[in-house]
A and B are shown apart, each in its own frame.
Chain A
Amino acid sequence: MTATGGTNYDEMLNEDGSVRPAYADFRKWYDSQDKAWLKRQDAEAERFFRRIGITFNVYGNDAAEERLIPFDMIPRIITAREWRKLTQGIEQRVRALNAFLQDLYHRQEIIRSGRLPISALRNNEAFLSQMIGMTPPGGVYTHIVGIDLVRTGPEEFMVLEDNARTPSGVSYMLENRETMMAMFPELFTRIPVRPVSDYPRRLARSLRACAPPAYDGGKGGGTRPTVAVLTPGIYNSAYFEHAFLADQMGAELVEGRDLRVVDGRVAMRTTTGYKAIDVIYRRVDDDYLDPLSFQPDSALGVSGIMDVYRAGGITIANAPGTGIADDKAIYSYMPEIVEFYTGEKPILANVPTWRCSESDSLAYVLDNLAELVVKEVHGSGGYGMLIGPAASKKELADFEAKLRARPDNYIAQPTLSLSTVPIFTKEGLAPRHVDLRPFVLVSPEGIDITPGGLTRVALKKGSLVVNSSQGGGTKDSWVLDE
């Protein structure tokens, strides 16, 4: 594994130990603070989070256990210049993703042109035949995207993953900022940090801009399209976020059991009868969305919603079938995909990726397993992955067997020398590896990127795994104003 503090890029400190300009003001403030007081604030932050109930449920632990994602109070700081370049790259990538989805579910030009092999679609469960020939309202597939970025040098940001299904974590972006502003208000008077708090309003506006053909333009009484957030319920790991977003948007938070199809519309059961929904922000996976079209035993979705969708009665955000675009096998083709649909070179690089389905690549991966990170093609959340440099002999041998048995289930990437950002520890500041997930909204009105995002941080020294399910934490992410 990459030695922390060795070859990797530290975002706060130059190699000679001096402070980089992005952190200069913060560091000046930090150095002038009483460290005992900071420790107390640190403990206070946890109590604050627990009291307001920002928790997530961990799968595989006690059914009802709710945990906090640890919060680190040292901000992750991005300069205006860095952010400008990032947003250009993200916008380009998100445009390409939507064009790619439109193409995949219609003429499949990219396959005809030979840039993407048909094998990438075949037997891929994320590709939904139910979506073939269907254009979602406004032509938008991915209304909300989370692009996971890692940094390996002063100018080197790479896309680690595109989250085009239902990216989570935006509530932490918002609550982390709230917490920082409550704990250290004077920081925000000294340092010009761009606000993130209007994300829910932007989300609501973006979703309303995608109203379906059946929306009556306000003639039915409502002056705006009715938006609802569909949650699997209180035991879902991201329930807090679902409730939080619905609340902040002024939308209803609904479950499958609140909904049914009435007169060709998806409607929610209110105390005074069924009321039609125009746009549903669903936080339920494709498989569970409609028992008539997908998993027949799902109680989380709505029977018949796909028929209503096809008939223009509702907008589903994100559209069913977008998962094909964030599949890890497709990921390896993203440079070609970006170029094919935008006619431009990708601004943001991909992490070099070996597709184990290809025999040459597989041979390379097997020879170099101890240096690589191997991921399941359809996995997420850091489950089922191998970090070669951190694995024992036995783990390597076990994984080799898995690779040989089902090579097309895996991709491999080099172990990246991820950048570090300091965290607050009892012994003072200590560098830890981070990634960044900015949140992107797409509507016919355009692409809207909130300045900031969710910084996830590996709290264990030397660890590269930042996933909250694997013991990672989060930080407030600052984009400095010009």
Chain B
Amino acid sequence: MLGRAANGVYWMSRYLERAENTARLIDVGFHLALTRGNKHSQDEEWKSVLTTTGLVGNYCRVHGGFNGPQVFNFLLRDKDNPGSVLAMVENARTNARMVRNSLTNAVWETTNEGWMHLRDLLARPVRETNLGEVLGQIRRTGTLVRGALEGTMLRNEVFNFSRIGTFIERADSTARILDVKYYVLLPSAAWVGSSLDNVQWDTLLRSVAGNRAYSWLNAGAMDSRGIARFLILDGQFPRSLVFCYDKLRSNMAGLAKEYGGETSAHALLRATGGALQETSIEAIFEMGLHEFLQDFIGKTSRLGSAIAADYRFNE
């Protein structure tokens, strides 16, 4: 396949994943706003949502204050925000259109329909009353496209590049969410067992759609190490770092098989993925959670660059 087409399916999947992750962060911010009366702490939450998405700088250039509707409209549809959900779904759709020949009709149509629907929903400012509908539609678009890929695509290079895009983005996203909130997982004498901890932990789990799964696995009991282990090392949880790297390994192996050889990206993947397999949560805390995550984010980004270079995404 063309290098440009590989780049297209890769980014199509990354953008859709990112749109969905942003929607989830907004959902959490909104949920907190509903459960907390204190205006100041609400604003802090919205600010932290912006920080997690890496868009706080862009936001502050055009807006003052962090009131909820202003923040979520910025994240969803602001023309001044190149990273808005609408822009990302549009990017995904543009990429899909560019590589339409590599996709099945089902994948193209779900992507195109998802975009058309969101474009209409986001044509006017979103209010608190229809925020739920908008966020639901964003998640649905991601879910439907993944389902169409899963159900209709040949298991070939196109499929593998698409999945690689999804899991690079997801690994990066989970690591960033953890890194912005890593301090709530640190043992702190003052907070241990407080209700504040529980709310913070619950928020963190919700941000990666892991609250129900975690509760189920742990019979409702929460502790900071358990949560960190779950989000980083649990091989069953589809947004954990280990899970994302497992998937990357299998999709990269698919490429190596189809092309008859490995590339430098395979070596990078083996190094980072292997270390992740072997480490323990104790070792991570020993190293420092923040340091570990920063290192992981850097390595994942280098892996993405190596894939782009090895498979000639660009000239």
6 closest A-B pairs (Cβ-Cβ)? Answer: A271-B311, A247-B101, A269-B3, A243-B100, A271-B6, A253-B101
B-side residues, CB < 8 A to A, are 1-4, 6, 94, 97-98, 100-101, 105, 108-109, 112-113, 116, 157, 259, 311-312, 315
The CA of A53 and the CA of B114, in the complex, are separated in Å by 12
Contacts A269-B4, A270-B312 known; list 10 others, CB within 8 Å: A51-B116, A247-B100, A252-B101, A254-B2, A257-B315, A258-B2, A258-B4, A269-B2, A269-B3, A271-B259
Q: Which residues in A have their C-beta under 8 angstroms from that of B259? A: 271-272
User: Closest residue of chain B to A231, judged by CB?
Assistant: B98
* Closest beta carbon of chain A to B26's beta carbon, Å: 26
B166 CB to nearest chain A CB (Å): 18
Alpha-carbon distance between A268 and B315 when the two chains are bound, in angstroms: 11
Is there an interface contact between B101 and A243, defined as CB atoms closer than 8 Å?
Answer: yes
- Residues of chain A lying within 8 A (CB to CB) of residue B101: 243, 246-247, 252-253
Is the pair B3, A270 in contact by a Cβ cutoff of 8 Å? Answer: yes
Find the residue from B2, B3, B4 having the highest chain A CB count within 10 A: B2
Q: Which residue of A lies closest to B97 (CB)?
A: A234
Q: How far is the CA of A257 from the CA of B8 in the complex (A)?
A: 14
A273: chain B residues at CB < 8 Å are 312
Q: How far in angstroms is the closest Cβ of chain A from B45?
A: 35
Contacts of B108 in A (CB 8 A): 52-53
**Subset of 19 A-B contacts with CB under 8 Å:** A51-B109, A51-B116, A52-B105, A52-B109, A53-B97, A234-B94, A239-B97, A243-B97, A243-B100, A246-B101, A247-B101, A254-B2, A258-B4, A269-B2, A270-B2, A271-B1, A271-B312, A272-B259, A272-B312
**A257 and B4 form a contact (CB under 8 A):** yes
A271's nearest neighbour on chain B, judged by CB, is B311
> B157 contacts A271, CB within 8 Å?
yes
Residue A269 contacts which of B94, B97, B109, B315 (CB distance < 8 angstroms)?
A: B315
Chain A residues positioned under 8 Å from B311 (CB to CB): 271-272
Flag A155-197 by CB within 8 Å of B: 1 or 0 each.
0000000000000000000000000000000000000000000
Chain B residue contacts of A51, Cβ below 8 A: 109, 112-113, 116
* Bound-state Cα–Cα, A241 to B229, Å: 51
B107 to chain A, nearest CB (A): 12
Task: Say whether A278 faces chain B, with CB atoms less than 8 Å apart.
Answer: no
In the complex formed, the residue of B with least CB distance to A274 is B312
A255 within 8 A of partner (CB)? yes
- In the bound assembly, the distance between CA atoms of A239 and B259 in angstroms comes to 30
**Considering the complex, which residues of chain A in the window 341-393 have a beta carbon less than 8 Å from any beta carbon of chain B?**
none
In the complex, whether A402 has a CB less than 8 A from a CB of chain B is no
Nearest B residue to A50 via CB reads B116
The smallest C-beta distance from B64 to any residue of chain A, in angstroms, reads 31
Give Cα A239 to B99, complex, Å. 11
Chain B residues within 8 Å of A50, by CB: 116
- Write the nearest CB–CB distance from A257 to chain B, whole angstroms: 6
Give the distance to chain A from B308, nearest Cβ to Cβ, in Å: 11
A51 to B111 alpha-carbon distance, docked (Å): 10
In the complex, A167→B131 CA distance in Å?
Answer: 47
Instruction: Name which residue of chain B comes closest to A251, CB basis.
Output: B101
Please tell me if the beta carbons of B2 and A268 are within 8 angstroms of each other in the complex.
yes
A233 to B100, CA, bound (A): 12
How far is B113's CA from A254's CA once the two chains are assembled, in angstroms? 25
Distance of A271 Cα from B1 Cα, bound (Å): 6
Closest to B90 in A: A64
Contacts of A247 in B (CB 8 A): 100-101
What is the bound-complex CA distance between A161 and B259, given in angstroms?
A: 48
Closest to A245 in B: B101
Interchain CB contact (< 8 A) of A255 among B4, B97, B157, B312: B4
Contact yes or no, A270 B105, CB < 8 A: no
> A52–B4 Cα gap in the complex (Å)?
23
Given A53-B108, A257-B315, the answer on whether A271 and B3 have CB atoms closer than 8 Å is yes
Contact B2 A252 (CB under 8 A): yes
> Chain A: which residue is nearest B261 at the CB level?
A272
Chain B residues with Cβ under 8 A from A269's Cβ? 2-4, 312, 315
A44 to B113, CA, bound (A): 15
